[in-house]
Each structure stands twice: as C-alpha cells, then as structure tokens.
Structure 1
Amino acid sequence: MNQIEFSSLVRSISQTTNRSLAGARIWVAPDFQSVRPHNFEEAANEWGMRLFFNDSDRSLCAIELHDTFATVDGEKVTYSHDCLCDSLQSLRTEDKSAAEKINLAYDGMPVVRHITDEYVKSGVLQDERIAVSLIIEPKTAVLLLELQRAGAQVAVYATAAEVHQAVADELKERGIGVYADSQWTPSQEHAAALQLLDDMKPTIIIDDGASFARLAQLERPNLVPAIRGVAEETTSGVRAFEAMEASQALPYPVIASNDSQLKTGFDNVHGTGESCATTFLQIMDDNYPLESGTMAVIGFGPVGRGFARRMRSLGARVVIVEQSATAALKAQYEGFEVMPLSQAALECDCLISATGVYHTIDLPVLQKIEDGTVLGVIGGIANEIALDDLTAITHQDISPAVPLTQLDLGNGKSARLIASADGMNYTVSSGNPIEIMDLSFAVQLNAIRMLIENDGELEHRVIRMNKDIDEQIARSALAARGAEIDESQTLVTDWTKTRFSTSSHSSTKSQEENSHA
C-alpha cells in the first residue's frame, strides 16, 4: 500500500472536521504503520499533535488513524484512505445541517459553556444589548446563543464573504438578530450594519477589526454614549483603537481581547496558522508545487509564524518578509531565510500576507511579481493586497471547484489569487478549529464581564486583561482535557537575601569570634 502524504492527512482531518490538530491526542493503530508518512513523527510534532501507539492509551485519544480510515470521537467521522488525496470538492462535501454543526461546535466548547453557566446564575448579562461583528459560522453561533442564554439581547453583523448562510438562517430561527446575507452587495452590507445599530442601540460591541465600533462613531455618534465599551478580537482592530486613543478620539474603554495570551498564543498561532495551512493545501492541491516552490510569508507575528512553520514542515521552502528587525531576527533564529519584499516579489512564486495591514502587497510589488505568482491573505483585512489600486481588475475563475482566480495585472502578466484576497480560512473553509475558538470566546466573555462590572470606572483607552483571567480560563480548559497541574504558590521574596548573604554572615561571625579570642 502506498504511503499517505502528511499534507493529505492533516488537510483531510482538519478540513472535514474543523477539529484542532494542535494539542490533539491521536492514537496510531498498528495497521497504520504500512501507510504512515515517511516524516510522520517529526511533522506531527511541528503541528503540535500528540501521538500514542499503545492500546492502553487508545481511550485517551479523540482521533484514531488506521490504514483505511481515521475516526473522530462523537460522530465517528470516517475517511477512506483512497479518498485522502481526492479532489477539493469531495473533501468539502458536508452532510450535516446547520443545527448539527452548531451542536458539534457546542460539544467542543466546554469552557464557553462553563462561563455561561456562571453568567446565568449571576445574571450579569441580563438585558444587555450586545452587537457582535464576527464571521457567522457554527462556532460564532455557539457564542451568540450562549450570550442569549445568559439573558442578553444579541444581534450579529458580518460581510457577505463571512456568512455561512445556513448557519445565519438557523440563528434567525433561534431568535438571534442577523443582519447579514451571503448574497449582499457592499452597499447592502453597509445599510444592514447601520440598521443593526439603529434597531438595537447596543450597550456592548464585540468587534473584529474595529470596523463596527468605528462605524457607530462616524455615522451614528448619537448612539455612542450608550456603549459601555468594546471587546476587540483582532490585532488589526487593536491597532485602530490605539490610533483612536492616541488622537484622543476613543469615547469608551476597549478591552484588547486579542492581546490575551489565550488569544494570541492559541487562536493566532495554532488556530489561524493551522487552518490557513490546511486551507491552502485544500485550494492548491493540484495548483502549486509545494516542495519545489518558494513561498514568502509577509509578517512573522503569531499568525505568520504558525503558518510558516507548518508549511515548512510539509516540505515548502519558506522565506520571511518583515519590517520589524526583532521579528526578522526571530525568524532567522528559527531557521528561516529573511529578505525584503522587493526581493521576494522577484524570487518567490507565492506571496502570503499575514500582517492585517492595508496594502501590505502594494501596487509596486504587484507590478514586480512573475507571471502566475500565487497571492493570498491570512491576515484578513480589506485590501491587504492592493486590488483597489489596479485600474481595471479582471478575474477569471481557474476552476469552478477551486476558489482560485486569475488576476490580470494590466502589464501583460497575471497572478493567481486565492479567495478574492479575503482571509482564506474563513471564506473558503470553516475558520479556526472548535477547541481554539472555545478559548478565544472564553476571553471575549470575560472581557464583557469586565466592561459591565467596572462600568463608569474604566478609562477610555485600550485595556489589557488581567493575567489572572487567562489563568482561570486555562485551568478550566486543562480540566476539560483531563489534565492536572500544581496549584500556584504565592512567593514572597525577601529582597535583602542575596548571593552574598551567607558568605557575608559567615565572615562577620568569624570576625566576631576572633575579636573575642
């Protein structure tokens, strides 16, 4: 039997189940040995997978690998070995309803459930009006429904590219205000966002990219005084709010949920890094020579680092483009080649933007790249690739089954554009894994509580959450995974004790003894 390629294995499991490979406990059956990838253990370690080979460990594992199938706990989803390298379309075939997908996500989010149980008892969210601007998919649906269960009035907005329509329809049936549709034009999206603000008059906003809160301030300033504050999900959003703070234009406190260790260290590195890697594999299966290509990852923050390390483990040559000398040095110390973007545009056949910064890949770069270069975004803001600077954008679908278009650059050359330059993991696939979003949304729930319990006392600035909150969430997550750790000890440091204390004391004592002799 032929060996399974590791890239096919991770792509199949990730894209079919939306389960996290990072942190996953995987039982490797004896019969899998004949088909296992040649670099299985090394690559699995790089992806954060824990492998178990003994029968006694089988009950601990959520995923099983056999020569003919893999199983995942709960639904026992199976994958035929013969189908692991099948086309994109067959891999994306899903037979579950929106309600079933939401229920699967709910089962995989124990920390969010635990926090919501506390909020139901305390009534802390009772009658709050919470506007949410996030991708509408099953995991977000769990957050919305849990906020509703805790007593809040809840409404959600998303752009058309961020809407899983069946999930949106299911949320409407369950009483969530949905101001989004997968078929809307930009003008309809804009009108819907304003309508949500007018209808709800929110007291709290959960934002993604600071777009919704800034819309309220710029176009509905009369509603701003009622807003207790904002919980911001993304790096790009925190940057925008910090700019507002610097300009003394921030009219409420903003909790930087993004800056929590459980957001940046898990959602960004393992969630986005992993899901973008497997989405890239899904899209580019027959469209990019992974082991012979040269990929530039622009930005070596948590997202770029997580993506770059995974792609390198699959055999790709990955170079890093960075403006931060510190980040570039980190990349070098992790074994990556570093080069300027102008050089990467000429030498690399794939450019992936991981910055969340407007015009990361600007027009001069687009004019330099070679014909057929692949362009993609994992940072996730509008025009991270400067499509708005191209005088006439001509798209041509390369294949109806693949979200890959040929982009005419107007200079006789063309590029291959992934997912219309939107964030590839959430526009093409199911977004970040369920277990990862359990942590991120747990942070958001705590950010909301922080805004409510400290209403009127917080300064109008960007505020980082207390590290104790991260510890509480992490302990809850560890408990849900059956792990135990030692209780933290409060250490009181006597600053007068130094490395010289003992020798100094001995010397003084010796001198005293000699003086008495």
Structure 2
Amino acid sequence: MARVVSLKKPARRSRAPVHADIKDPLLAEKGRGRIDWAGRTMPVLSQIRERFDRQKPLKGVRLAACLHVTAETANLVLALKAGGAEVALCASNPLSTQDDVAASLVADHGVSVFAIKGEDNDTYYRHIQEALNTRPQLTMDDGADVVGVLHNDRMELLEHVIGGTEETTTGVVRLRAMAKQGVLRYPIIAVNDAKTKHLFDNRYGTGQSTIDGIIRATNRLLAGSVFVVAGYGWCGRGLAMRARGMGADVVVTEVDPTTALEAVMDGFRVMPMSEACKVGDFFCTVTGNIDVIRQEHFEKMKDGAIVSNSGHFNVEIDLKTLHRLARSRMILRDFVEEFTLKSGKKIIVLGEGRLINLASAEGHPSSVMDMSFANQALSSEYILKNHGKLERKVYAVPQLLDQEIARLKLKALGVKIDKLTPQQEKYLASWEEGT
C-alpha cells in the first residue's frame, strides 16, 4: 500500500497529504535544486509549460506516467501539471529513481510518486499498480510496462484510457507486436520515433550518459582499451562515437547487415560477439534483445572484463547463467560486482546489468531530454484533441509537432536557418521542369 507522505515543515506552502511511496520526504530540498538546475537547459519544455499554464489543455485528465524519476522527468511532470493534468508517477526501472527528486515532487508539488531507488521487483510492480489505481485516462510509458500491466492484470481500467505515449525503442517494439496481434486496446504515440527524440536523445544522450555511468562506477581509463558496443542503432552509434572520443579502440557487434556496413563505413571494427568477447576490455549492450552476452561469451572473455548494459531491460546480459557459472560473487564498490568463474577468471558486471547510465550516473543531459519530453507533452495534448479519430494502433509523432520542437530548440540556441522562396516551393512541388 502507498504511504501518505507529508512534511512537518513544508518547504513552500501547506498541502494536503499526498499518497506516495518514496524513500525520504526530507530529501526534498536537495531535489528542488536538482529540478531547477535541469530546467535551466530545457527551454522548449519551458515554453510548452508556459502555454499549458495559460490554456490548460489537459485540465482534469488523469495521467499515469511510468518513467525514470529524474530531474528532467520532474520538469515534464510540472509541465503536465501546469496543463491541468492529475499526474501519478512511478519508476520505469528499479535503479533509475533519484530519491531527492521524488521527494521534491511530493513535498513541493503535490505529485503522487511511487518510486524508490533500488526497489525490488515486487515493489516495482506494486508501484505500477499504485499509479494505475488513479484510473488513468492517459498513460506515459518508458518500456511499455504500464501498458503490459493494464492489458494483463487491470483490464477493468482499459475503458477509461483514451490513449498513451511510449518513450523507448524497446517499448515501441512491444507495442507494435501487440498492435499486430490485435490485442492493443488504445492508441499509442511512439515518441521514440520522432526525429527530435531518437536522433538526439538516443544518440547524444545515451552516448554521453552511458560513458558517464561506466566511468563513475569503475573509475577506469577508457583510452587504450578495447570497448565492445553490442548493437549499432541510434544508441549504439552514440556510444561508439563517445567511446572512440575517449580514446578506446571500439568494436561493434551487429545482426543487421546494413547497420553493420554503416558501422564499418563509420570506421569501426565489426565482428561477431563470439570473436569480440576474446578481445574486449569493456562491453556494453544496447540492442533491446535478450541474451546478447551469454555463456559461450563469458567463457572466452579476458580475466577482469567489464560488462554493462544500457538497453532498457536487464535481459541483454544472461545473468542467470553467469550466476550459475560463478563459484563466488563479491561487491567491490557501488554498482560493481565481481563474478569469479570456476576457472578462476573474473567477470565484472556493472549496475546489476540494468541501465548503467541511470544506475550509477544521472541519465541523459537535460538539454536532449528537453526535446524528448516536449514530444511527450505535445503528443499527450494531441491525443486528447484527436482521440475520436485514432484507432487502436501505434502512431508516429505528427511531423508538424516534430518540426515545431526542432524550431523551438533552434530558437532557444540562437540559431537561424533559411526559408524556401516561393519559387523554390513551386519547383519542389512540380514535375514539369527538368535539367
């Protein structure tokens, strides 16, 4: 059951107690500063929040958000509240919550938050249930766990749901599978597919924050090491780019021939994991698939190889098998666990195989999350305006919204671009003129 949380001395003004389950309400002051700091480099979301505050496009709408509970997410939640939404927030990963941010959202803004960093799996799903107890009309997912729980365990709530949004590649894959099988019960907008999301958040955000997480956890030098990136999607591209920038010799593993060819053309060594596992010093999976690193790879790795994951779920590294292969395990430092195999060789796993950029670091920089969360906010507004026209399937973010977010970001950066002349527009719309 959720706890009723209130501060004896509220930081700003008195509020009724809020249903929430967080680590410690007294962390609110620290969280307040962190939320403010992130908001300073989120100008697009700030402009949307100002408009939402005037127009109240989400007035009275109940929204359940299953997202990483970070300072950047807090700024999204405050924009949704400014628009009139009643938000219940739970974590989308057991290790991704910033407890001080959760405390500030509860104490300072009256948001119902159900998230504690390091919560076990049972608590994680209980928190999702708590958010769903608000009978949401909109859902906002980072991995599609809310959608999954709704469709499997809380089907009685589906009649209330107008639509939802999804933030991640992993979640979109799951949702498209549901739509293809005809079991998806309400429309979802795939925020991840917006250009202003995956070209920046996935590439630059994941690249920087994953390197940040690995270094914070290990304090090891990347320069001169062999760094194996499993998967060369947008997240893998960004990670490979940043690892090379730190001086690592980057190896890419892939299953898609076209993507593998692109990695070759980008100057990376490409090989199967069966070969890469023999040479890598660092490994990081960013594929969205299961068992990318498994028994035959562990057995061939160097002594002391460091293994991590930056895909959404902790399934990319076959940890169950590694547990079975190990004769002993030892925690060496926060988020660093050493597995000693029966041969005496040691394999190091970071962050329990969960998102290392959020487990040991702070996730993506706020300036890229600015665009991702702008997509979330505007897509929620779009669903409310158009839900009567939307079918039970996965939709792309409307191109006009995507371009508007890019325009606002450029404006905030002080960057100007050209406009087509009437003659150019006519030329592009015609077929009569040739060479």
TM-score, normalization: structure 2? Answer: 0.88
Residues 1:410 and 1:204: Cα distance change in structure 2 (over 3 Å):
farther
Counterpart of 2:141? Answer: 207
Q: Secondary structure of the equivalent of 2:335?
A: strand
Q: Deviations over 1:150-175 (max 9, x none)?
A: 11100111143121111111111121
Asked whether 1:103 is paired with 2:36, we answer: yes
Residue 485 of structure 1 corresponds to which residue in structure 2?
Answer: 417
Q: What letter is aligned with 1:497?
A: E
**TM superposition shift of 1:347:** 2.2
Residues 1:182 and 2:114 are matched in the alignment? no
Partner of 2:264: 332
1:431-450 equivalent positions in 2, closer than 5 A:
431-450=363-382
- CA deviation after TM superposition for structure 1 residue 142, in Å: 0.9
Call closer, same or farther: CA 1:222–1:408 in 2, change over 3 Å: farther
Residues 126 and 150, structure 1, Cα contact 8 Å, conserved in 2: yes
Structure 2 counterpart SS, 1:155: strand
CA distance in 2, matches of 1:153, 1:498: 56
Of 114, 117, 123, which aligns to 2:47? 114
Structure 1 stretch 149-158 or stretch 390-399: which is displaced more? Answer: 390-399
Partner of 1:3: none
Q: Which amino acid aligns with 1:306?
A: G
User: Any idea what SS the aligned residue of 2:164 has?
Assistant: strand
Percent of matched pairs sharing the same residue:
31
Aligned to 1:451: 383
Question: What secondary structure is seen at the aligned counterpart in 1 of 2:95?
Answer: helix
Q: Which residue of 2 aligns with 1:22?
A: none
1:149 aligns with 2:73: no
Q: 1:398 aligns with which of 332, 355, 358?
A: 332
The residue matched to 1:201 in structure 2 has which SS? coil
Counterpart check, 1:195 vs 2:127: no
C-alpha distance in structure 1 between counterparts of 2:304 and 2:320, whole Å:
20
Distance 1:456 1:411 in 2: 62
* Correspondence for 1:348: 280
Q: Is the 8 A contact 2:228 2:252 kept in 1?
A: yes
Alpha-carbon distance between aligned partners in 1 of 2:157 and 2:265, rounded to the nearest angstrom: 49
- Aligned residue among 290, 314, 317 for 1:382: 314
**CA distance in structure 1 between the partners assigned to 2:345 and 2:421 by the alignment:** 62
- The answer to whether residue 218 in structure 2 is matched with residue 259 in structure 1 is no
| Residue 411 of structure 1, CA deviation | 5.3
Q: How does 1:24-423 map to 2 (within 5 A)?
A: 97-158=30-91, 159-173=93-107, 174-198=109-133, 200-285=134-219, 287=220, 289-392=221-324, 394-399=328-333, 402-409=334-341, 412-423=344-355
Alpha-carbon displacement from aligned partner over 1:167-187 (angstroms, at most 9, x marks no partner)? 111111121011122253221
1:463 aligns with 2:395: yes
- Judged with a 3 Å threshold, the aligned counterparts in structure 2 of structure 1 residues 224 and 364 are, in CA distance, closer, same or farther, namely farther
Corresponding letter in the other structure for 2:329: H
Q: Is the 8 A contact 1:297 1:352 kept in 2?
A: yes
Distance in 2, matches of 1:420 and 1:163, equals 15
User: Is the partner of 1:454 in helix, strand or coil?
Assistant: helix
Rg larger in structure:
1
8 Å contact from structure 1 (residues 299, 321) kept in 2: yes
User: Match of 2:417, SS?
Assistant: coil
Q: Give the Cα–Cα distance (whole angstroms) in 2 for the partners of residues 241 and 410 of structure 1.
A: 41
- Once residues 489 and 471 of structure 1 are traced to their aligned partners in structure 2, the CA distance between those partners, rounded to angstroms, is 19
Cα distance in structure 2, aligned partners of 1:345 and 1:135: 31
CA offsets per residue over residues 450-509 of structure 1, 9 Å max, x none?
A: 21111121121111112221211111111112222223456233312223xxxxxxxxxx
Higher relative CO (CA 8 A, sep ≥ 6), structure 1 or 2? 2
Q: CA deviation at 1:110?
A: 1.4
Residues 367 and 411 of structure 1 are in contact (CA less than 8 Å); yes or no, is this contact kept in structure 2? no
Count of residue correspondences: 400
Counterpart residue identity of residue 268, structure 2: F
Code of the aligned partner of 1:476: L
Paired letter, 1:365: H
Does the 8 A contact of 2:56 with 2:83 survive in 1?
A: yes
Q: 1:247/1:390 Cα in 2 relative to 1: closer, same or farther (>3 Å)?
A: same
Q: Structure 2: which 5+ runs fail to align?
A: 1-28
Pairwise CA RMSD:
1.9
What's the secondary structure of 1:452's corresponding residue?
A: helix
Structure 1 CA distance for aligned equivalents of residues 238 and 158 of structure 2:
37
Q: Tell me, what secondary structure is at the counterpart of 2:312?
A: coil
In the alignment, the residues of structure 2 paired with residue 272 and residue 390 of structure 1 have an alpha-carbon distance, to the nearest angstrom, of 26
**Is the partner of 1:216 in helix, strand or coil?**
helix
Letter in 1 for 2:130: Q
Partner of 2:26: none
Contact 1:332 1:338 in 2 (8 A): yes
Contact 2:309 2:316 survives alignment (8 Å)? yes
Cα offsets for 1:407-428 (capped at 9, x unmatched) = 2445543311111111111111
Distance 1:395 1:261 in 2: 43
SS at match of 2:337: strand
Cα distance in 1, alignment partners of residues 50 and 160 from structure 2: 27
| 2:66/2:128 contact within 8 Å kept | no
Post-superposition offset of 1:362: 2.5
How many Å separate the matches in 1 of 2:343 and 2:161?
49
Partners in 1 of 2:306 and 2:213 — Cα distance?
A: 14
Any stretches of 5+ residues in structure 1 without a counterpart? 1-95, 500-517
Pair 489,300 (structure 1): closer, same or farther in 2 beyond 3 Å: farther
